[in-house]
Amino acid sequence: MNTHTTQRGATLVVALIFLVLMSLFAISAFNSSSGNLRIIGNTQARQEGLSAAQLAVEKTISASTFHTNPDGVAASPVLVDMNGNGTTDYSAVLSPRPQCTRAKPILAGDLPPAPKTPTTIDVYAPCRAAPKQGGTFVDLETPIAGADPESCANSEWNVRAQVSDPQTQTKVAVNQGVAVVVFGNEVSSFCK
């Protein structure tokens, strides 16, 4: 019976040790999950920022004036509503303004053939010689090679959009290259 009295407090000590260990496991699991939650939140904020910047680039490229007025396009930020609730979530700026990196004149022999159907849009129409009227046939005047090297050109542009969110401290930028056919003085005005 002597052993019974000595074991009375041992059960309490073992139970307290297990309670402390279980509490440490619970605290560790809580810290791990809150750290993972922060990582997921940061990843989501970065992905939303990238999406907003990409949307700004796509809106800029789809605008018909970005290559004729790059300063005007860059002056106004692109406001993005990510969740569709009517409030602006991100503001993307084009910095630097869209830049023409190079332009190559399109010579008459380098033009693709004109579309056969009248419903198809011919983006190269301003580059083609005017049709000659009269006679039995409609002929195209053959332009003199090199007479007007700036009449049409294939140009390559770099469009860069930046998004910074002060709330999440997210800063991202997206660069996009785009090829555009430019006409007349647009080549000498914006392409170096």
Q: Which of 12-26, 97-111, 144-158, 173-187 has the lowest mean pLDDT?
A: 144-158
Q: What is the mean pLDDT of residues 161-184?
A: 88
Task: Compute the average pLDDT of residues 50-68.
Answer: 88
Asked whether the bond before 115 is cis by omega within 30 degrees of 0, the reply is: no
- Cβ within 8 Å of residue 101, ≥6 positions away: 156, 157, 158, 177, 191
Beta bridge partners of 108: none
Q: What is the pLDDT of residue 1?
A: 52
Q: At residue 87, does pLDDT exceed 60?
A: yes
CA distance 59 to 37: 33
pTM score above 0.85: no
Return the higher-pLDDT residue of 112 and 54.
54
Span 97-156, pLDDT tens digits: 898 888 888 887 788 888 888 788 887 777 777 665 555 554 454 444 443 544 788 889
Residue 145, token pair as written in the block: 């090679």
Where do the structural domains in the chain lie, given as residue ranges?
A: 2-190
pLDDT (mean) for 156-183: 89
SS3 label, residue 127: helix
Alpha helices in the chain (DSSP H): 2-6, 8-62, 70-75, 186-190
Is the pLDDT score of 96 beyond 80? yes
